[in-house]
Chain A
Amino acid sequence: MKKKGKEKRDKGLSILFCSAVYLFLFLPLFVVVANSFNATTTKPYLSWKGFTLDWYVKLWSNSSLLESFGNTMLIALLSTLLSTVIGTLGAVGIYRYKFKGKGIINGLLYIPVVIPEIVIGIALLTIFSNTGVPRGMLTLILSHVSFCVPYVIFNVRARLSGYDASIEEASMDLGANRIVTFFEITLPVLAPGIAGGALLAFTLSIDDVIISYFVNGQTKTYPLKVMESIKSGVSPDVNALSALLLLGTIGLVFITQSGILSGKHNKV
């Protein structure tokens, strides 16, 4: 009886502690959402002046904000696509073939992952400025690809380690060539790893502040637009856009989660 009571108390403490941590994690999001309904019109937009939905309307006429958001999405899509292709090919090649310098490549992949982002940012800025590459969309995409590729490779590699290569041999024995085998056999097996890598790449790209800050030139991404406005006070339409995005991502999470729970594909 005494043990039961203790267990109950422990459980209560656990729930209390976890709730506090979740509160900590979500608190600034509540502030962001609350401020998107703030009727204040004077900088720095901090004191509460009543409830309004105006910012959700005004948002659509803030062309520089929308443009920066468009840039972020374009950069994220392109760099996710590129890094997923490069990373998947690379992971398969590194896993399958013997070649000189394999150990070096494996080692170099950890650099963008462990070195502080600011160092990667200034290093890319230095090389772009020394080689005369004009800073803007192109340098942003190249930079994002460079830090996303290792994550894609790690995800695909995790999938490869449990992979039975004999099914590829079987495919080729049955007359399929290398390319058909890659698309029909290898890719479907690796798909969950590739999808995980791509999702991670996309997330890293849309949220990147530090590296983009150094290589952007005149091009503004959404995080950089936020950074710029922080000095004078973030206007509530920026909060409104963030709130909409939050709603979108939460919706997306629940759709994919319920898909994962009901689907049987990920049991391969």
Chain B
Amino acid sequence: MSGKTSKHEFRSNTLPALVTVGPVALLLLFLVVAPLILVAVMSFCKTDEYYNVVYEFTAANYTKLLSVEYVKIYARSLLISFVTTFICVLIGYPFAYIIARTKSKKKKLLYMLVIIPFWTNSLIRIYGWRSFLGNNGWLVKLLTLMHLADGSAELLYKTGTTILGMVYCFVPFMVLPLYTAIEKLDGSLLEASSDLGARPLRTLIEVILPLTSGGIFSGCIMVFIPCLGYFFVSNILGGGNTDMIGNLIERQFKSANNWPLGAALSIILILLTILLVKIYQKLGGDMDSLGV
């Protein structure tokens, strides 16, 4: 018997390791690392008069990023992402709490109902909001019927409309990690807290929130960061009035055709992401809870 075990131990692991990990390694190298390095290089490149990328060093793209017009857009992006994240916590936390702690048999269904809308294409749902809110839309008609607005009320193309669309897109990304964190919460701790005389609010602040803070942090990361890049929401609902950093990048690659400038903007977004993830880890956040 011992002979057989040692035979396994002496078996070479090089080939199986190569076969299993090799494809992932190649994929990461060619489709993640190399592209990002190229973007970093390109962000320091010039363009010729036809906007072709010329591989000569310049820092001009980065100085352009400091223009007032751009700084305004960063500020707006951060504001929209921040408000979106905040509203997602306000809606998502009590919602996740209720469905995670319900004793109803339909718990699984309640959970699935959060996910189902997200299996319909996100653009068409955002477009649904646009037709609902638009100036021929149902909401304006309804409000007019109720004498709360006149027929020409304009609800679209405002910062608030873009935030609404963002909250709509990201609320499930807040609910799901919170649901997981709250479901793990040991009910006996809550009972102990109230038995020892804590009022519900105190139990919430001193027991429930600290024990589920991991879920809050990962939810915030999963909302705040992608929100900065969701250019189509501000395109459709903000109509160009609520441009964010994602819209700037999109324009450099799709219409203005200034790839190096777009690359520099992307580097800013990457650095911001790294900073936020570092803070998240400092707060004790687990990278694995950012996955789904």
Contact = CB atoms under 8 A, between A and B. Distances in A.
Given A27-B132, A118-B246, A86 B24 contact: yes
A213 B253 CA distance: 11
Nearest to B132: A31
A143 B196 CA distance: 55
A51 B239 CA distance: 30
Interface in B173-209: none
Interface in A83-120: 85-87, 89-90, 92-94, 96-99, 101, 105, 108-120
Contacts of B149: none
A50 B273 CA distance: 48
A116 B246 contact: yes
A169 B31 contact: no
Contacts of B146: none
B253 A214 contact: yes
Query: A126, A207, A230, A249: which has the most chain B beta carbons within 10 Å?
Result: A126
Contacts of A96: 16-17, 20
Interface string A20-45: 01101111111110010000000000
B121 interface: yes
A246 B118 CA distance: 10
Contacts of B228: 116
Contact of B138 (A31, A99, A234): A31
B21 A94 contact: yes
Given A86-B23, A115-B273, A118-B249, A222 B121 contact: yes
A154 interface: yes
B266 A149 contact: no
Interface residues of A, number: 90
Contacts of A17: 94-95, 98
A14 B172 CA distance: 18
B68 interface: no
Contacts of B266: 118-119, 122-123
Interface residues on B, range: 35 or more
A210 to B, nearest CB: 7
Contacts of B20: 89-90, 92-94, 96-97
A195 interface: no
Interface in B102-138: 108-110, 112-114, 116-129, 131-132, 134, 136-138
B39 A122 contact: yes
* Of listed A108, A110, A122, A246, residue having the most chain B CB within 10 A: A122
A37 to B, nearest CB: 13
B34 interface: yes
B229 A210 contact: yes
A227 B31 contact: no
B91 A119 contact: no
Interface string B136-180: 111000000000000000000000000000001001100000000
B121 A21 contact: no
Contacts, number: 248
B210 interface: no
Contact of A122 (B4, B128, B263, B290): B263
Contacts of A93: 16-17, 19-21, 24
Contact of A143 (B31, B91, B118, B134): B31
Contact of A116 (B13, B38, B42, B269): B269
Given A25-B117, A125-B253, A249-B120, A113 B291 contact: yes
Interface in A227-241: 227, 230, 234, 238-239
B240 interface: no
15 contacts: A18-B98, A18-B99, A25-B114, A31-B128, A86-B24, A97-B13, A114-B273, A117-B226, A122-B253, A123-B39, A173-B5, A203-B119, A209-B123, A213-B250, A238-B124
Interface of A: 14, 17-18, 21-22, 24-32, 35, 46-47, 85-87, 89-90, 92-94, 96-99, 101, 105, 108-120, 122-127, 130, 142-143, 145-146, 149-151, 153-155, 158, 169, 172-173, 178, 200, 203, 206-207, 209-210, 213-214, 222-223, 226-227, 230, 234, 238-239, 242, 245-246, 249-250, 253, 257, 261
Interface of B: 1, 4-5, 8, 13, 16-17, 19-21, 23-25, 27-28, 30-36, 38-39, 42, 91, 94-95, 98-99, 108-110, 112-114, 116-129, 131-132, 134, 136-138, 168, 171-172, 221, 225-226, 228-232, 236, 246, 249-250, 253-254, 259, 262-263, 266, 269-270, 273, 277, 287-288, 290-292
Given A31-B128, A127-B31, A257-B109, 6 more contacts: A89-B20, A97-B21, A113-B291, A115-B273, A242-B121, A261-B108
8 closest residue pairs by CB, A with B: A93-B20, A28-B128, A116-B229, A90-B24, A123-B35, A146-B31, A118-B229, A97-B17
